[in-house]
Amino acid sequence: MPELPDVEGFRRVLAQHATGQRIERVTAPAPEVVRNTSPQALGRAVHHRHFAEPARHGKWLFAPVDDGDGPIVVMHFAMSGRLTWEPGQTRRDQHDRVVFVCAGGELRFNQMRKFGGVWLAADLAERDVITGPLGPDALGVDREAFHAGLDGRRGMIKSALMDQEVLAGLGNLTADEVLWHACVHPRAHVNALDVDTRDRVHEAIGHVLAESVRHGRVPVLDGWLTGSRDDDEPTCPRCGTPLEHGTVSSRTTYWCPQCQRL
């Protein structure tokens, strides 16, 4: 599930509940989900330190400890991850993979499928190696940076929007939603899109992400593609034309053949 809006929601969970908390210990029911070290070493690195203000870039979540000059806990949720805060000691979920036990509660990295995971970075440089190169965060990306990211691309616009090195944060769901709002066909080639069209895509990114972040996820809304795509006979919320679907960049893709012409 997690795309940028979901991860932003997890960042808020962390900011509201975990920031300022002292970490008593780390326990990892699924130790292999701690990717670049052992759960024991992770536990030693953060032992009795306090969660500082968390940050997010694209779909990555960063939880530094001790005012930001300590180590950084790096998290990626892939397709099925969540981050929850449980005050006190309630029963754990079957899919709680890594748990940060604090004095006032537990921060739990929960994940059904074990893609993503939790990393330990000693500093910002290590953090950047873990994430690999990322384009500008899609939330609030400015027009110039967006155009620069598309510059030189020749492939399909949906592929470019989902390429984290071009723009960090959009996934399959948000990319479809953005292109539907902008009236651009997902298979349109980037080099065939004029400046006005690219501007429309940029505006749609701003609109879709702002609204989604407000909801803490990509909302299932009337008047949005998400509100229709899972219907039995999905139709375009704008014009009523039956939606088409197919595969773009190996992902299931929905579009309106009337509003989104090639």
Partner DNA sequence: CAGGATGTTGGGTC
Partner DNA sequence: CGACCCAACATCCT
- 21 or 97: whose CB is closer to DNA? 97
Question: Which of 51, 98, 43 has its CA nearest to residue 70?
Answer: 51
Q: Is residue 165 annotated as a catalytic residue, yes or no?
A: no
Q: Least separation, in Å, of the C-beta of 16 and DNA?
A: 22
Q: What are phi and psi of 117, to 5 degrees?
A: 145, -165
User: Binding string, 8-47, against DNA, x = CB under 7 A?
Assistant: ----------------------------------------
Work out whether 156 is an interface residue with DNA (CB under 7 A). yes
Work out whether 159 is an interface residue with DNA (CB under 7 A). yes
Q: How far is CA 192 from the centre of its chain?
A: 28
Return the amino acid letter for 3. E
Which positions from 111 through 140 interact with DNA, judged by CB under 7 A?
112-115, 131-132
- 207 or 251: whose CB is closer to DNA? 251
* Backbone angle region of 61, left / alpha / beta, with phi > 0 → left and psi within -120 to 50 → alpha: beta
Q: Is residue 59 annotated as a catalytic residue, yes or no?
A: yes
User: Exactly one of 16, 69, 91, 152 binds DNA (CB under 7 A); which one?
Assistant: 152
| Residue 160, both tokens | 């470019």
Q: Is residue 251 annotated as a catalytic residue, yes or no?
A: yes
Q: Least separation, in Å, of the C-beta of 112 and DNA?
A: 5
SS3 of residue 260 by DSSP: coil
Helices (H), 24-167: 39-46, 124-131, 143-150, 157-162
Work out whether 59 is an interface residue with DNA (CB under 7 A). yes
- Judge residue 145's burial from the number of C-beta atoms within 10 Å of its C-beta, 0-12 exposed, 13-18 middle, 19 or more buried: middle
Which positions from 184 through 213 interact with DNA, judged by CB under 7 A?
190
Contact 2, 81 (CB under 8 A): yes
What are the catalytic residues? 2-3, 59, 251
Q: Which residues bind DNA (CB under 7 A)?
A: 1-3, 6, 58-59, 76, 78-79, 94, 112-115, 131-132, 152-156, 159-160, 162-164, 171-173, 190, 218, 249-252
